[in-house]
Amino acid sequence: MVDPLDAAAVDQRAFRDAASRFPTGISVVATTHNGVDHAMTVSAFTSVSLDPVLVLICVEKSARFHQAVLGTGSWAISVLPDDAEKVSRWFAEKGRPTERQLADHPYHRGPATAMPVLDVATAVLECRTRAVYDGGDHDILLGDVVGLWVDAAPHSPLVYFEGTYRQLR
């Protein structure tokens, strides 16, 4: 076991390998800041509380999305189905154009926040930032869910496991 006081002793590559053994669902989180839509793929999203209804996302501090979402305070999570790997890859690509990121991905504005919501989503959670916590090279955004939508049709989720997109069987 690693001494919790000596976290620097943990090899980053080994940590990534260990964390990759935990399967995660894939979503795209989007916001609009100063009239520009921003979006990014996230695997670090989870429910936190039912009363009040809270979720969290983790956003890398060096990502362009970071400043946009902090500046806006509202965001929407589009949960992706298993056939949306291309969508996930696009919004995970570093260096993609800032302007018109969503141009090739049909979307609409969420009714509660007016943030971009992908039409391909199987569920949507519209959020307002309640708190931001330091998480090393990421910030942890805790959000109040102020609106949501769930597709009535059954869908399998897009899953990421051991560095690869997967499908549930």
In a domain, 116, yes or no: yes
In a domain, 12, yes or no: no
In a domain, 16, yes or no: no
In a domain, 3, yes or no: no
In a domain, 42, yes or no: yes
In a domain, 8, yes or no: no
Q: What is the model's pLDDT at position 46? A: 94
In a domain, 167, yes or no: no
SS (H, E, C) the chain: CCCHHHHHHCCHHHHHHHHCCCCEECEEEEEEECCEEEEEEECCEEEEEECCEEEEEEEECCCHHHHHHHHHCEEEEEECECCCHHHHHHHHCCCCCCCCCCCCCCEEECCCCCCEEECCCCEEEEEEEEEEEEECCEEEEEEEEEEEEECCCCCCEEEEECCEEEECC
CATH number at residue 86: 2.30.110.10
Query: How many separate domains does the chain show?
Result: 1
Q: Are 9 and 3 in contact (CB under 8 A)?
A: yes
Closest by CA position to 88, among listed 100, 66, 105, 71? 105
The domain containing residue 47 runs over which residues?
A: 25-162
Going residue by residue through the chain, which has 169 residues, state the pLDDT in tens, using 9 for 90 and above: 555 556 668 888 898 888 888 888 999 999 999 999 999 999 999 999 999 999 999 999 999 999 999 999 999 999 999 999 999 999 999 888 888 889 999 999 999 999 999 999 999 999 999 999 999 999 999 999 999 999 998 889 999 999 889 888 7
Q: What is the model's pLDDT at position 54? A: 98
